[in-house]
């Protein structure tokens, strides 16, 4: 029984969906609640041969007994939400906080026209948050199709004992702590994600920061150690955006100073390292730490030493079950 938060430590696309799906299946939370920005996110979950590409719903949906909630801080695109609810067959167990801001087509048009310099996802998130601050935003309670889903998320979350909260994007895209102005339209740290779903700081048991074994970034802005797309393909690190389809920019290195800051500002108690099998192909599908090759073990050791936080989860493949859980 615990209230845990999971956030990204890099530029998004760390593989949060994969770790969350393991936690949901393994820890069996009563509630899986999504914080973070909105449908600019793209989480991929692969389980029992099915691939889910989620932008609006939490990745924890694959644990079928959990209540699924979207917190007040999350922007909701009604069309995207309704489509995912339909595709995932979660109609009876999903709720949206009645205070959420709705993304309108005008927001998407504005983002497409003005987001070029930052390289936004053009999903309308920035303009919708601007409207929220201007106090002119449309709320989900004004969208008739969403009426059946409206609920009081803080009330539900605070009365549950086993809650998994998932953030979106990553620490280095935070409006406060990221590479401003090349950032998303909101802070992405665990405290903000907690507030998004209505949890106060003393309620949180563990904060899990997820990092990928190498670094990727989509959109513009500074990026230390960037390699060419050709080199990324050679390394096997080439990836394409879930939401935008854009090739992701790739850096071979881990950005230690930023990761240290991510651990500090998120008060990380555990780390999850994903895509170890991409960096070291012989790790594919390994489920016990002892079975990892020597170089992979020392890589994990280096991360723990440099960041001072234990690596409790290691992703060794795309499927939710390809994971080492060291708790």
Q: How far is the CB of 306 from Mg ion (least distance, A)?
A: 25
Convert residues 149-178 into a mask of x (bound to ligand IMP by CB under 6 A) and - (unbound): -------------------xx---x-----
**Site for ligand IMP contains 25 (CB under 6 A):** no
9 belongs to the binding site for ligand IMP (CB under 6 A): no
Does residue 43 carry a catalytic annotation? yes
Alpha carbons 189 and 271: distance in angstroms, whole number? 14
Half-sphere exposure of 245 (CA within 13 A, CB side): 0
The interface partner of residue 119, options being ligand IMP, Mg ion, none and the CB cut-off 5 to 8 Å by kind, is ligand IMP
DSSP 3-state of 27:
helix
10 binds, among ligand IMP, Mg ion, none (CB under 5 to 8 A by kind): none
User: Which one is catalytic: 22, 27, 43, 277?
Assistant: 43
d(CA 205, CA 32): 15
CA distance 117 to 192: 26
**CA-wise closest residue to 48 among 327, 322, 326:** 322
Residue 265 found at the interface with ligand IMP (CB under 6 A): no
* Tally of residues, the chain: 327
169 binds, among Mg ion, ligand IMP, none (CB under 5 to 8 A by kind): ligand IMP
Rg (C-alpha) for the chain, rounded Å, is: 18
Q: Decide if 22 is catalytic.
A: no
Q: Does 126 bind ligand IMP (CB under 6 A)?
A: yes
Per CB under 6 A, does 101 bind ligand IMP?
no
Tokens of 57: 């719903």
Shortest separation between residue 169's beta carbon and ligand IMP, angstroms: 5
Of 8, 10, 11, 13, the one binding Mg ion (CB under 5 A) is 13
Interface region with Mg ion, contact rule CB under 5 A, candidates 69-77, 112-120, 230-238, 241-249: 241-249
Contact in structure between 274 and 213 (CB atoms under 8 Å): yes
In the complex, least distance from residue 216 CB atom to ligand IMP, rounded to whole angstroms: 8
* Torsion angle of C-alpha atoms 229, 232, 237, 239, degrees rounded to 10: 10
Q: Is 74 in the site for ligand IMP (CB under 6 A)?
A: no
Q: Identify the CA nearest to 17 among candidates 268, 174, 194, 210.
A: 210
The answer to whether residue 42 forms part of the interface with Mg ion (CB under 5 A) is yes
Give catalytic residue positions. 13, 43
């Amino acid at each position: 029984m615990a209230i845990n938060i999971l956030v990204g430590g890099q530029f998004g696309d760390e593989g949060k969906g994969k770790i969350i799906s393991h936690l949901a299946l393994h820890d069996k939370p009563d509630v899986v609640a999504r914080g973070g920005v909105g449908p600019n996110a793209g989480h991929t979950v692969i389980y029992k041969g099915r691939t889910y590409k989620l932008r609006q719903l939490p990745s924890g949906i694959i644990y079928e007994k959990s209540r699924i909630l979207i917190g007040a801080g999350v922007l909701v695109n009604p069309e995207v939400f309704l489509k995912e609810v339909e595709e995932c067959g979660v109609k009876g167990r999903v709720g949206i906080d009645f205070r959420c801001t709705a993304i309108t087509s005008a927001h998407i048009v504005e983002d497409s026209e003005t987001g070029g310099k930052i390289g936004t996802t053009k999903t309308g998130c920035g303009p919708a948050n601007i409207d929220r601050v201007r106090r002119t935003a449309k709320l989900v309670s004004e969208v008739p199709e969403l009426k059946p889903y409206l609920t009081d998320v803080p009330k539900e979350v605070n009365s549950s004992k086993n809650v998994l909260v998932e953030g979106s994007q990553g620490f280095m895209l935070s409006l406060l702590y990221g590479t401003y102005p090349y950032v998303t339209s909101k802070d992405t740290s665990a405290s903000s994600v907690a507030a998004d779903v209505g949890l106060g700081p003393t309620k949180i048991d563990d904060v899990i920061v997820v990092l990928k074994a190498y670094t990727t970034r989509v959109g513009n802005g500074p990026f230390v150690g960037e390699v060419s797309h050709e080199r990324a393909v050679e390394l096997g690190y080439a990836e394409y955006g879930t939401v935008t389809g854009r090739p992701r920019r790739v850096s071979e290195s881990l950005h230690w100073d930023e990761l240290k800051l991510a651990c500090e500002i998120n008060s990380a108690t555990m780390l999850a390292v994903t895509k170890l099998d991409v960096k070291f192909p012989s790790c594919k599908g390994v489920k016990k730490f002892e079975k990892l090759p020597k170089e992979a073990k020392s890589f994990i050791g280096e991360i723990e030493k440099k960041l001072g936080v234990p690596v409790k989860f290691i992703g060794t493949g795309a499927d939710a079950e390809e994971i080492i859980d060291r708790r």
